[in-house]
Amino acid sequence: MSTPPAADERYRLLIGDEWVRPDGAYEIVNPATEKVIGFAPEASTDQARRAAAAAR
Angle at 32 between CA 31 and CA 33, to 5 degrees: 95
Lowest mean pLDDT among 3-17, 18-32, 36-50: 3-17
**pLDDT higher than threshold 50 for residue 5:** yes
Please tell me the predicted confidence (pLDDT) of residue 36: 95
